[in-house]
Every structure is written in structure tokens, then in C-alpha cells.
Amino acid sequence: MNRIQAILTLDMENLPANFQEILKHEQEVVAKWKAEGFLESLFLRQAKNGAVLIFKDIDEDKAKELMQELPFYKLSKSIEYYSLIKQF
């Protein structure tokens, strides 16, 4: 099974005043993706500066397209994508 890993790093030095409101909208978007079946996992980074998302049953181009829908996309410092093959 193929997976796409997206590692999102936020620009913590330039967060807007309404960050908590943006966070709530972000959570709604990822919950929708989970319900639709193409977001397998979401891990918050221990440094609290981003997240790791694991997509399934989509290609890297679709993952990039979806990531642009995230409210945090505009707050990101970087996003890295990795194509993975799940072994177990």
C-alpha cells in the first residue's frame, strides 16, 4: 500500500493573533479528510511547530493539492513530501 507523508513546519515567529481560530478551522479540515478516508494518521510534532500527516490511496500531487486547503498552509515555513510503501 502506498502512502504519502507530508511534514508541515509552521513559521512560529510569525503567527497571527487569531491563531486559535485558525487552529479550530484546521481541525475541522483534517477531521473531514479522516471521515472521507484518505487521511490515515495525523501526528503533532513534539516541538509543537507543526505536524506529520499520512495520506493513503492518493498520489503526491493530490496530497499537495489537499495541503493547500489547510488553513495552516499559509502559515507554513516548509512542507516536505515523501512517497512511502507500507510494509505492515
Confidence tier at 1 by pLDDT (50, 70, 90): confident
C-alpha span between 6 and 63 (Å, rounded): 8
**Closest C-alpha among 67, 52, 68, 58 to residue 38:** 58
Give the residue extent of every domain in the chain. Answer: 2-85
Specify the pLDDT at position 88: 87
**Closest C-alpha among 79, 83, 82 to residue 69:** 79
Mean pLDDT calculated for residue range 7-25: 95
The pLDDT of residue 13 is above 90: yes
pLDDT in tens, 60-80: 999 999 999 999 999 999 999
State phi, psi for 39 to the nearest 5 degrees. Answer: -105, 110
C-alpha span between 10 and 58 (Å, rounded): 24
Decide if 3 contacts 39 (C-beta within 8 A). no
Q: Which fold has domain 2-85?
A: Alpha-Beta Plaits (3.30.70)
